[in-house]
Structure 1
């Protein structure tokens, strides 16, 4: 069973959804994207408005977030900062170049708005991520895979299994899993009509077809979570 998203997370997700649109968005659409009722969307919008979010609109017409609205700066405890640093360092050591650079930029942006006391705490190393050796080289670009997931694009891959057999498949990429010594792509495989897990270092090529999934990535992810018996929190990244 998939655990529900916390209300705080849902409010942030609602703001993010509104940011993506330049025109009023119907509450029914927002409810569908967040997997909640329309009544819940109305309550959440009222809550955000009471906390200063510049959301305009009304029921039956739609809602829009004014472009000038910015989230207030977030304050982190020392433990929270350490978690962020460890997470960023893990990504820098294990992910591809684009993700590594993004992790460094994220930490730099957070550091730039911290008060001096927390900056000093941030400079102290209490815990470190141990470098991992032996990660395999990729013949495909992880950026292409991430873009395919974000745009819900069908892809073709050439894949070599553990027995050395090569096959060409059409897949719907759903989620990248980062493990200690390999990366795994969870995808819906058209030829198997089921979810499959592909080691990315065994892919000879990855190419999008320009076609869209027949189901949304969000729906596919939920189906995979239910099949595998994992929670949404365990698959967040």
Structure 2
């Protein structure tokens, strides 16, 4: 976590406690840093004018009425944020859904009052009662592999029912309702491939990192203009025939 994000979280945690004392130990556990780091951060916040009372070893209280500078959003921008977050809450994995909920809560905490009510009552919805092909593994783990550039392995069954063992470099994820697709560099085919996540079993995250190489990156994949929508609609796996 970046220090700027941690300072923001310290203020948010104190605000939630209201007039109750917030201990450095509780802050350090919540933010996964040492108590010494919390002491230093709180001192820096106090020095910058944040009205925090208390001391090390006792605890801290954020004075009532303090707020961060308001974020200035247009009503259409709020609609975009809320709809996007609600789609993520309904269609993504549990970890990403929780993150979307936290994003909305953070924005609500710092926007002006006149917009807060509009944000809470916007009529743009993303119902959770929709059909999506079931995925048998943790999508959050695959997202982590994409983010950290970790190779993954799995067993894949193509449109013809033929199975194969794959080791791939995951490059990108895309949702074409009702299926999720993974774009990857496949070491078995020595080429780019797209995989339907609902056809993946025995998924495993490895500790092997990969570095971007010319001809094997997401940019290279997109330049090839792979037919992602056809893959989803026709249940076709490009190049695996």
* Alignment TM class, shorter chain as reference: 0.5 to 0.7
Q: Per-residue CA shift, 1:141-179, capped at 9, x if unaligned? A: 111111111121111111111111111011000111122
In 1, Cα distance between equivalents of 2:204 and 2:98? 24
Does residue 174 (structure 1) correspond to residue 171 (structure 2)? The answer is yes
User: In structure 2, what is the equivalent of residue 92 of structure 1?
Assistant: 89
Q: Per-residue CA shift, 1:118-139, capped at 9, x if unaligned? A: 1122133333235452212211
TM-score, length-scaled by structure 1: 0.62
Are 2:71 and 2:112, in contact at CA under 8 Å, matched by a contact in 1? no
User: In structure 2, what is the equivalent of residue 124 of structure 1?
Assistant: 121
| Segment of structure 1 superposing worse, 120-129 or 195-204 | 120-129
- Determine helix, strand or coil for the equivalent of 2:170: strand
Are 2:90 and 2:127, in contact at CA under 8 Å, matched by a contact in 1? no
In 2, Cα distance between equivalents of 1:220 and 1:110? 34
User: In structure 1, what is the equivalent of residue 112 of structure 2?
Assistant: 115
Are 1:132 and 1:180, in contact at CA under 8 Å, matched by a contact in 2? no
Where has structure 1 moved over 3 Å in runs of 4 or more?
16-19, 71-74
Does residue 156 (structure 1) correspond to residue 166 (structure 2)? The answer is no
**Could you tell me which of 111, 120, 143 is aligned with 2:140?**
143
Q: Per-residue CA shift, 1:181-200, capped at 9, x if unaligned? A: 01111100011111111011
User: In structure 1, what is the equivalent of residue 102 of structure 2?
Assistant: 105
Check 1:155–1:123 CA distance in 2 against 1; reply closer, same or farther (3 A cut): closer
User: In structure 2, what is the equivalent of residue 196 of structure 1?
Assistant: 193
Once the 2 structures are TM-superposed, how far is the Cα of residue 72 of structure 1 from its aligned partner? 7.1
Once the 2 structures are TM-superposed, how far is the Cα of residue 94 of structure 1 from its aligned partner? 0.5
User: In structure 2, what is the equivalent of residue 75 of structure 1?
Assistant: 72
TM-score, length-scaled by structure 2: 0.61
Structure of higher RCO (CA pairs closer than 8 Å, 6+ residues apart)? 1
- Determine helix, strand or coil for the equivalent of 2:171: strand
In 2, Cα distance between equivalents of 1:72 and 1:216? 43
In 2, Cα distance between equivalents of 1:184 and 1:168? 17
User: In structure 1, what is the equivalent of residue 203 of structure 2?
Assistant: 206
- Determine helix, strand or coil for the equivalent of 1:228: coil
In 1, Cα distance between equivalents of 2:145 and 2:120? 37
Q: Which runs of 5+ in 1 are unaligned?
A: 1-15, 20-66, 231-237
Q: Which runs of 5+ in 2 are unaligned?
A: 5-43, 49-67, 228-241
User: In structure 1, what is the equivalent of residue 221 of structure 2?
Assistant: 224
